[in-house]
Amino acid sequence: MADEIELKTAPADFRFPTTNQTRHCFTRYIEFHRCLAAKGEESYECARFAKYYRSLCPGEWIEKWNEQRENGTFPGPL
């Protein structure tokens, strides 16, 4: 192949070695928003966390959390 396409997704996180990845998804989402808060909206480093949480979390969960953040009712440590 002339251009090798790289398949990439959220890597296996050793903090979450078991089958239950709920916390993994939640943690990535929180990491992304904390990164945004720390580094500003247009940071490139934060895009990595965004890809991770988008890979792991179902779209419905992300929409719900985005709404909660807008309403100020998000239950995580942002």
Partner 1 sequence: MIVREWLFLTIAACDAAEPWQLGFQDAATPMMQGIIDLHHDIFFFLILILVFVLRILVRALWHFHYQKNPIPQRIVHGTTIEILRTIFPSIIPMFIAIPSFALLYSMDEVVVDPAITIKAIGHQWYRTYEYSDYNSSDEQSLTFDSYTIPEDDLELGQSRLLEVDNRVVVPAKTHLRIIVTSADVLHSWAVPSSGVKCDAVPGRLNQISISVQREGVYYGQCSEICGTNHAFTRAPGNIGRLLSPLWLSRTTRGATHPRSKLLQRAAGAVGSQGARQ
Q: How far is 53 from 24, CA to CA, in rounded Å? A: 8
The answer to the question of residue 30 lying near partner 1 (CB under 8 A) is no
Determine which residue in the list 30, 34, 62, 74 makes contact with partner 1, applying CB under 8 A. Answer: 62
Q: Say if CB 73 and CB 56 are below 8 A apart.
A: no
Query: Which range touches partner 1 (CB under 8 A), out of 10-18, 34-42, 70-78?
Result: 10-18
Q: Which amino acid is at 68?
A: Q
Q: How far is 23 from 4, CA to CA, in rounded Å? A: 33
Query: Which residues sit at the interface with partner 1, rule CB under 8 A?
Result: 1, 3, 5, 7-12, 17-22, 24-25, 51, 54-60, 62-63, 66
